[in-house]
Amino acid sequence: MSGILIVAEHTRGVLADSSADLIGAAMAVKAQLGGPVRVLVAGDVPRVFAEALNRPGVDEILLAQTDNAHFDAAVSEAAVMAAARAHEPALILIGHSASGVSFAAALAVQLGSGFAADVFGIAVAASGLRATRGGYGNKVNVELDFPGKSVVTLTVRGASFKAPEGHGDARITTLPLSLDGIKGRYRHMGFEEAPASDIDVSKAEFILSIGRGVQDEKNVPRFAALAEKLGATLGCSRPVADSGWLPKPHQVGLTGKVASSCKLYIALGISGAVQHQHGMKHVETIVAVNTDANAPIYNVATHGCAMDVFVFADALERCIG
Amino acid sequence: MEDTRALFWNLSPFAVTAFYLLGFAAMGASIWGIVGAIRKYQRGQPAPGFPGWTAGVGKLCADILTHRTLRRRDAFAGMAHAAIFFGFALLFVGTAIITLEYDILKPLFGITYWKGAFFRFFGLTLDLAGLSVLAGLLLMMWRRGVRQPEKLDYRRAYAGEAKARPAARKWKREDWIFLIALFVIIATGFAQEGLRHAMERPDWSVWEPAGHWLGALFSVLDKDTLHQARVMNWWFHGLAALTFLVALPWYKAKHILAALGSLAARDPLALRRLPKAREGAAAGVGKIADFSWKDLLDLDACAKCGRCHEACPARAAGYPLSPRDFILDLRLHNNVAKGRDLPGKRLIGDVIDPETLWSCRTCGACLEICPVGIEHPVKIVKMRRQLVESDQIDPLLRATLDTIGASGNSFGEPARKRAAWTRELEFTIKDARKESADLLWFVGDQASFDPRNQQVSRTVARLFRAAKVDFGLLYDGEKTAGNDVRRIGEEGLFESLVEHNLGEMARAKAFRRVVTTDPHTFNTLCNEYPEFGEITPVVHYTELLRDLLECGALVVKKPLGLTVTLHDPCHLGRLNRRYDAPRRVLEQIGCRLTEMPRNRDNSFCCGAGGGRIWIPDRPGSQKPAELRMREAAALGRIDVFVTCCPKDLTMFEDARKTAGLEKDFVVEDIADLVAKAVALDTFDLRDLPALTEKITAAIAERVALTVAKQIDDVLARRILPTAALPAASPAAAAPPAPAASAAPLPPPAGVWQAKPVAPARLPIYEIPPKNGVRIMVPVKQIGKLGDDFVFTDDQRAIPDEYFEHLLNEWDDTALEEALRTIEALEGGEVVVVTIGPDGAEDAMRKALAKGAHRGVRVWGEHLADADPIVIASVLAGIALQEKPDLIFTGAQSGDQANAATGAALASLLGLPRVGMAVKTRWEGGATLQVTRELEGGVQHNVEIDAPAVIAMQTGGNMPRYATMRMIKLAREKPIAVVEAANEDVCRAARINRLFVPQTTRAAMLEGGADEIAAKVVAIIREKMGEKT
């Protein structure tokens, strides 16, 4: 009994970024924990993902054949249980995603394992595995131990670990899987694309937000274009929404939305009133651009630059071409 | 024979009788109409603000005789109305005098007095009265026809209407008919007089100058024509007058009577003190009969004069509210409904748009200027109560009310931060709960939490300190006073805030007076709190500053010599008549005051009142505050726009910028000006510790130093290795080693175990038999952590006092989904389950208030720091007893965000599940349709067998609002308490320690623009990956 079991995730034929990140997470403790690193991928044609998962440090890729291309929490749970029973890992890593959270805790129940969710730090202490996660709106960090557990299930926060680059030499094997008793209780019906205009700052991971510093409604489209180019969701402060320069769903703050999934927040021309900070100060990385070097936004920002937002936008546009 | 004249000239007895009959019929019709109106008003509810007829009629007479309310802000209309009113009143009295003699005294007692000198004086008076009415009517016609003031245009331009509504066109006709009809009645009266004079040529003719003059004019006619004209005109005049009598209780003429009532029944504290919600009835006004009789009377009293329309800040800024049109729309409705329910027509929605109700800022400008005593904002608030009760509220407002309910302030800050603004002071302010003080300072939300206003609060505190005022605060014992909560219509929440604050004040040490900087707080403490309990006198800080300056406790060292203008806060000035204190302060500190055109009772609201500060402004709309800024800018050279209200400061600071007037003047609170004038910065305000404390501290320090040195010396002389010494100081900065109790368990020796967790075994509790479907919703009371907190000594927890407790938002969404499911199925029950001690029942009460049928609370001390798997096993233990047909859980909790309960619970129960669901549809059958949301907003539709566990993501629905009243009513709903035995729980994790993640002030990126941009791009790539 040893080693790490990674559960890969894919949606509509595309492997989730988080799957490679999990390999990075495994590498953080592989040496101390010992044993092989195995990646499990379940699906109707699991082999198509094998190549992308074959990264340095991975010892084995387990392919579990299912009869449905699409995610089913019960099937994922059964596949991981089968792999766990077969290989007895000390650590199971799952992405903290919509799909991951749908079965990770169920595994913890079935295995009676240690469990922690949304983990961004993994280490091995004298007492065994130790995971670090955020608590209370990420105001504190929590270190968790798993005394007496021979196996620990963790869901890992996206982009917390860097995936190893390059190509590995993992063995590719098939994991026998029986799905009797699961079939028929859950049926895939189809996907719907998110409406193009759909703005949800509470779910955006990357937000570029504008404040009164943009000065005029006619400057807004320029920042909207910049946000799109960067792949960011466009947010704003209350005055911008109140002036009708942007629809209300863009507003971040106490009276708007809390950027609860955000990892990177760029605040342009926002002074950082308490009401705005309420919606964003917890974000891991905040870049603030404001002419006033004493603006309260700099008390919560990670990086700051006291410059004009238009000069900054010019330079940023040049930089990304 | 003495001078007099004959009545009913040339009429046959039959004609006289016919006229009397007609007269009685007209009077009867009029009385019938009046009785009908009174009965209509009687269908209304009691009017608690009614001052009683004696006091009311006294005030009515004073206002009518002075015409005070009609002359204000429209002297022309006031003058014309006075000419008509007093002229008409004299004519009425004259007619009564004749009737008294002719119909009563003469036939019964043979007494006559309408003759001789009295007759001549009478004739002159009535002629002048008639002329006065005619002049007044002509002025009114000129005003309507030629001058056409904007306020008389019934077209709703503020609501974007280009054309007047049919009803408005009718009003216009009605106005003209009213004027013309009156004119015709008076003019035919004069004609009759002229014809009489032409025929009779009495020698006292000059005493009726109009008759005399017209008589001369008519003399050119031959005798027959005069005779015929006199007969015809008599009937025409008489019938016209009787027609007017009949019309009195209807149409525009009705204001003549209704206004007498509405003026007499005025609530002297209207709006300053809102009526309590009626016990045992609907909280607000949802149908016309929910209004008070005074409200219904008001509707008929309106004369459409437009003074309120002109004064309303919402209308001026383009919001869909004109107080006049609001009243007229209600009147049109009640003309048909007559105080009863009108099926198929909703009062809110069909008659009055909710948006209209939310537009009001309860500034009282309409109520103040209404010449007939209509109390518009009170009606608006009553209707808002209904909107709140039926959850028709803006989502952001709902969130704010939730926040106030949870933490006692509208800023979403933990209660313990309420006095955080005092930390930067050089001295400590007394805690009024521990020490007695002369003054208790009730700070209010805006002044406590808004950074700009915190500065003002500190200035005020320093001024008090410099003036040696003995004052204290309630610190975190204070909650928002609730003025605006009440005006939003959340009466239950207001009541609980009053209860809390009165309780805190009662428990505080003795104080003589309360002071506040916030006029809203001032208003409710002064006028509304006394209805709930005793409160000491309340003063506004401008009054206190005035007194301190006048008695020399504050001495002006540098008169400022600034030209300033002053904004009277609505709740201080107009509503509570405190106009002079701030003006006196400005005078004393050497400011020249230039008044804005709209000042004192006509002050123009900043737009923040009535809870509007919590409702987002409509995109593209102007703000009342911007209009006010332009008004100030138009004064020409002013240096400072002075405010004495925290909300004003916020609103006007913003508006000055958005209106582009940043260079014209600055906005400052009056306290800041006083601080400059008294050179506050030269005062030493530091706390001086008592002498004994100083001596003790000095000795202690000396001893500590000497002893430490001696110990060091002793240790140095020994040869003990330092490593063996106990650490000299606690290693505060270093991360602690794993606590000793966490004895390192050896890594499991070789055996890999998979031992499934089982549902907790819980005692059997009583469950009512199933009646339809049963949906179980686990709800969690989460802890929201403030910015200031400490860890417990073992670093494994944070003491409870640092948390605000709230119903988990995701669970609220799950509950809403469950309630909607039940409602769609038209049957079944929702059971909410929570795990926690007594205090955790608050969240469940809220869930029950929203509509859950019963609650189950499980607790055992060992669950205090339970991990999500243990929690799920307890919930599973409950589910095994409840046997629900469906379980909705929140996808995660707001505090720990494990997102584990749903999946774990499903696994424990062996049920199928969907996580991150945003949409569900279940018709009670074997399957249900669920949409789950994936990263990036892609939605995944699935079908799943019931029973199942659905974990709800937020955003899928909008959870309903539970008013404080509903929460109180929900106390009747049953909650089963289940004791969980401390069986051998299988913990999935154990906290080793908590620590604060490192944060620092932003690292400033240096370099040129391009360099900085490159660095930012690098940060983006690092965080978001190469694909960006």
Hey, what domains does chain B have and what are their CATH numbers?
13-27+73-239 (no CATH), 259-271+281-392 (1.10.1060), 396-656+667-682 (no CATH), 774-979 (3.40.50.620)
Asked if A135's CB is within 8 angstroms of B756's CB, the reply is: no
- CB contact at 8 A, A95 and A117: no
CATH of the domain at A34: 3.40.50.620
* A211 lies in the same domain as A132: no
Closest to B930 (Cα-Cα) out of B948, B909, B910: B948
**Residue A49 belongs to what domain range?**
4-175
Instruction: Name the amino acid, one letter, at B774.
Output: R
The pLDDT > 70 percentage for chain B reads 93
Instruction: Please provide residue B591's backbone torsions phi and psi, each rounded to the nearest 5 degrees.
Output: -100, 145
Weakest mean pLDDT among A217-231, B714-728, B768-782: B714-728
Across all residues in chain A, what is the average pLDDT?
89
Q: What's the rounded Cα separation, in Å, for the pair B811 and B813? A: 5
Q: How confident is the model over A179-208, as a mean pLDDT?
A: 80
- Among B751, B991, B993, B1015, the strongest candidate for a mutation testing the A interface, having the largest count of A CBs within 10 A, is B993
Structure-block tokens of residue B504: 């805190």
Predicted local confidence at residue B716, as pLDDT: 61
* A127 lies in the same domain as A229: no
Q: B451 to chain A: which residues are within 8 Å by CB? A: 273-274, 296
Across all residues in chain B, what is the average pLDDT?
90
How far is the alpha carbon of B568 from chain A, nearest alpha carbon, in Å? 25
Predicted local confidence at residue B195, as pLDDT: 95
> Based on the structure, what is the number of domains in chain A?
2
- Residue B127, Cα to own-chain centre: how many angstroms? 52
Domain boundary among A155, A175, A195: A175
The conformation of residue A112, written as its DSSP 8-state character, comes to T
pLDDT of B136 higher than 60: yes
Q: A194 to chain B: which residues are within 8 Å by CB? A: 936-939
Q: How confident is the model over B572-589, as a mean pLDDT?
A: 97
Q: A135 to chain B: which residues are within 8 Å by CB? A: 895-896, 994
How far is the alpha carbon of B960 from chain A, nearest alpha carbon, in Å? 17
Predicted local confidence at residue B111, as pLDDT: 92
* A29 lies in the same domain as A169: yes
Predicted local confidence at residue B620, as pLDDT: 62
Q: How many CB atoms sit inside 10 A of residue B705's CB?
A: 10
Predicted local confidence at residue B723, as pLDDT: 41
Q: How many CB atoms sit inside 10 A of residue B198's CB?
A: 22
Asked if B942's CB is within 8 angstroms of A186's CB, the reply is: yes
What residue of B is the nearest CA neighbor of A84?
B754
Q: B951 to chain A: which residues are within 8 Å by CB? A: 102
pLDDT of B741 higher than 70: no
Domain boundary among A175, A192, A218: A175
Predicted local confidence at residue A278, as pLDDT: 75
What residue of A is the nearest CA neighbor of B756?
A110
Asked if A301's CB is within 8 angstroms of B1002's CB, the reply is: yes
pLDDT of B341 higher than 90: no
Residue A188 maps to a domain: no
Identify the band that residue A321 occupies on the pLDDT scale cut at 50, 70 and 90.
Answer: confident
Predicted local confidence at residue A255, as pLDDT: 63
* A148 lies in the same domain as A258: no
CATH of the domain at A225: 3.40.50.1220
Asked if A316's CB is within 8 angstroms of B898's CB, the reply is: no
Residue A110 maps to a domain: yes
Residue A180 maps to a domain: no
Instruction: Please provide residue B579's backbone torsions phi and psi, each rounded to the nearest 5 degrees.
Output: -105, -30
pLDDT of B750 higher than 70: no
| pLDDT 10s digits, A27-86 | 999 999 989 999 999 999 999 999 999 999 999 999 999 988 899 999 999 999 999 999
Q: Is B753 exposed, middle or buried (0-12, 13-18, 19+ CB in 10 A)?
A: middle
- CB contact at 8 A, B156 and B162: no
Asked if B944's CB is within 8 angstroms of A319's CB, the reply is: no
Q: How confident is the model over A94-110, as a mean pLDDT?
A: 94
Q: A112 to chain B: which residues are within 8 Å by CB? A: 753-757, 986
Q: What's the rounded Cα separation, in Å, for the pair B619 and A246? A: 8
Indicate the pTM of the whole model.
0.82
Residue A97 maps to a domain: yes
Put simply, whether A318 touches B (Cβ < 8 Å) is yes
Q: How confident is the model over A306-316, as a mean pLDDT?
A: 89
- CB contact at 8 A, B456 and B649: yes
- CB contact at 8 A, B347 and B333: yes
Predicted local confidence at residue B1, as pLDDT: 54
- Among B394, B798, B869, the strongest candidate for a mutation testing the A interface, having the largest count of A CBs within 10 A, is B869
What is the distance between the terminal CA atoms of chain B, rounded to a whole angstrom? 113
Structure-block tokens of residue A195: 């409406």
Instruction: Name the amino acid, one letter, at B457.
Output: S
How far is the alpha carbon of A116 from chain B, nearest alpha carbon, in Å? 7
- CB contact at 8 A, A97 and A19: no
Asked if B901's CB is within 8 angstroms of A105's CB, the reply is: yes
ipTM of the shown complex: 0.81
Residue A47 maps to a domain: yes
Angstrom CA distances, B87 to B64, B66, B80, B119, B132, stand at 13, 14, 11, 18, 6
Predicted local confidence at residue B691, as pLDDT: 60
* A9 lies in the same domain as A116: yes
* A157 lies in the same domain as A214: no
pLDDT of A111 higher than 70: yes
Instruction: Name the amino acid, one letter, at A19.
Output: S
Predicted local confidence at residue B660, as pLDDT: 81
Of A106, A143, A318, the CB nearest to B906: A106
* A170 lies in the same domain as A76: yes
How far is the alpha carbon of A100 from chain B, nearest alpha carbon, in Å? 9
Residue A197 maps to a domain: no
Helix (H, G, I), strand (E, B) or coil at A288: strand
Weakest mean pLDDT among A44-58, B140-154, B711-725: B711-725
pLDDT of B373 higher than 60: yes
* A235 lies in the same domain as A163: no
* A169 lies in the same domain as A211: no
* A170 lies in the same domain as A315: no
Query: Nearest 5 degrees, angle CA B695-CA B698-CA B701?
Result: 150
Of B450, B614, B912, the CB nearest to A186: B912
* A241 lies in the same domain as A297: yes
Q: What's the rounded Cα separation, in Å, for the pair A44 and A70? A: 8
Asked if A147's CB is within 8 angstroms of B990's CB, the reply is: yes
How far is the alpha carbon of B726 from chain A, nearest alpha carbon, in Å? 24
Residue A185 maps to a domain: no
Domain boundary among A152, A175, A198: A175
Q: What's the rounded Cα separation, in Å, for the pair B1006 and B991? A: 41
Structure-block tokens of residue B115: 């003759």
Of A112, A193, A266, the CB nearest to B753: A112
Beta bridge partners of A285: A264
* A157 lies in the same domain as A270: no
Residue A187 maps to a domain: no
Beta bridge partners of B995: A141
Q: B787 to chain A: which residues are within 8 Å by CB? A: 139
